[in-house]
Amino acid sequence: MTALVDNVLGYQRLDAGAEELDKRVTLLDGVVSAGIDGAVELIGPGRAQFAVHTPPIEAEVDPARLATALAHLVADVAGVDATGRNRAAVPGAGPADSTIVVAAARRGDVVRIEVRGPYAGGDPVHGPVVRGIVAAHGGVVQTHEVPGTSGGAYVLEVPIGAGRARSRRPLPGTTRRRAAGGPRAARAGLGAGRRAPCRRSRPGHGGGRRAAEGPARLDGRLPGERGRDRGDAPPAPSPAGAAVPVREEPPRPI
């Protein structure tokens, strides 16, 4: 009862202009969580279950006031009046599910918070508090009927202001990994654990020339096939244990 009186008096001061909204950019999931905690204080613990879906959305609102509006709206659809008593169910209606659904989403320049419960709401104390606080934010409260049930659904819409939608996924292109060995290795397709082919200097030439032998050839030929494109015969196999001579070409004019 103390929380109810404090909330009603705070709304009356806001409505009379004695107090103003303290707007700041805040995450909406924290506002919804505070609103549910306030609703539990109004209706009592263990009298309702909650299903909450709040993506990471920022909005420029007064978090304390908006949480108060949500608390009274949840208490209203839970069927608890201002005195803490349950309202009578609609005659002929089946057993009502005590689960209250709260979902938030962004729609263009506004934030929508939908609240569904087993009762249609409309309490003369909860209703003015909810609509007055939402109207002070420049928003509206809409009522929707849920077919097949005696419950009701309310949608709160408030401007997003200077807030924005956050994303937990990294931006495209920010998680690229560089190959081991630096930019040259990345261009050559060399990953971690692979070594670049050896190079040796050629007499009279400032650059390097690829070795004639080696387990890996960048030109696609097997060892011993050097010079076949010029009509040269492949070298004869050397005896076991003998050193393999390395033929060096004369320097070419630059």
Encoded tokens for 237? 């196999």
At 179-192, the pLDDT tens digits run: 344 444 444 444 44
Q: Are 139 and 159 in contact (CB under 8 A)?
A: yes
Cα 123-126-132 angle, rounded to 5 deg = 125
Long-range CB pairs of 36-39 (<8 Å, 24+ gap) are 36/70, 36/71, 36/74, 36/102, 37/71, 38/3, 38/7, 38/67, 38/68, 38/70, 38/71, 39/70, 39/71, 39/72, 39/74, 39/75, 39/78
Q: Are 34 and 68 in contact (CB under 8 A)?
A: no
Q: Are 73 and 115 in contact (CB under 8 A)?
A: yes
Encoded tokens for 174? 């920010």
Encoded tokens for 223? 């060892």
pLDDT at 245: 57
Strand partners, 164: none
Element (DSSP H or E) covering residue 135: helix 126-136
| 232 CB-near residues (< 8 Å, 6+ apart) | none
* Below-70 pLDDT ranges, the chain: 1, 87-97, 148-149, 165-254
Strand order in the sheet with 152-159: 49-53, 99-107, 110-117, 152-159, 140-145
Q: pTM of whole model > 0.75?
A: no
